[in-house]
A and B are shown apart, each in its own frame.
Chain A
Amino acid sequence: MPPSLAVFVGGLLGTGLRLALDTVLPHADDGFPWSTFIANLLGTFVLGWLAGGLWTRPSTPPWLKAGIGSGLIGSFTTLSAVMGAVAILDREEATALAALYLGVSLVAGLALAAAGLKVGSSLAHRPMPTEVTDDGATL
């Protein structure tokens, strides 16, 4: 499958999942955007887990990485909704909540990306040594 087509299909699914989450967990203009928050953190952990582990294996086809990473997870998570919510919270004079939302999203996002990469690395590709190179320095 061409990677771009896989990204398109993944994008349909990821956008659909995010739309469903928005519908199940609606929020008021001056409320905390839980649906985007949950989607972003969940997606970030899973992407880190994949990037740190299974995707380092040479047997993982490029179209699958593109379809799941750029397509499904990439479109499930979103930065524009975060920034849009910050603009609306600013209008609602909920500046403190906007700052809190942005700060917690960022700190938790980076922490979950790091945790995902670390947990995923137990599944990482470990190449078998095929030859011992000798540069003359240690042997």
Chain B
Amino acid sequence: MSALVIAAVLVAGAVGAVIRYLLSRAYPVRPGHLPGGILVVNVVGSGIAGAVIGLAERAAVSDDLRLVLVTGFCGGLTTFSTWCVETIELADGGRWRAAILNVLVTLALGIGAALGLYLLVR
């Protein structure tokens, strides 16, 4: 792993984090709606990761680029901590249906996007 690749991974992760931050501000958790920005970035990031892992398997994407895109960009774009904490905050606030929906929809769409695109492109 060269210094340039490490730097590229870190910058890609930081750019992903800023996109997630801006989307989470634009589409916060609201009653009666799907849990917004975090759901979108988690599903989109999982899908990109699945696709890039699949492309890397047939050498359409180099190992370095895979590291930058998957570990860097997708890792920074998606988040596990906010997903869990927001779910518990919804449940603590008595909004059990929204909490359960947040878990199930993220899991279903995340697995669907990652596994689906992985199988499609590899």
Contacts and interface: CB of A to CB of B under 8 A. Distances in A.
Interface of A: 3-4, 7-12, 14-16, 18-19, 22-23, 40, 43-44, 46-48, 51, 66, 69-71, 73-84, 86-88, 90-91, 102, 105-106, 109-110, 112-114, 116-117
> Which of A10, A15, A106, A109 is packed against the most chain B CB atoms within 10 Å?
A15
Contact of B17 (A14, A44, A91, A113): A14
Interface in B76-95: 76-85, 87-89, 92
Secondary structure of the B contact surface, majority rule: helix
Contacts of B50: 83-84, 87
B85 A75 contact: no
8 contacts: A8-B17, A11-B18, A15-B9, A19-B71, A47-B85, A83-B114, A87-B114, A109-B81
A70 B80 contact: no
Interface residues of B, number: 53
A87 B21 contact: no
Contacts of B18: 4, 7-8, 11
B82 A83 contact: no
A71 B75 CA distance: 12
Given A4-B21, A74-B79, 19 more contacts: A7-B17, A11-B17, A15-B13, A15-B72, A18-B75, A19-B6, A19-B9, A48-B81, A71-B21, A74-B76, A77-B81, A78-B76, A81-B75, A83-B46, A83-B110, A83-B113, A109-B83, A113-B81, A114-B88
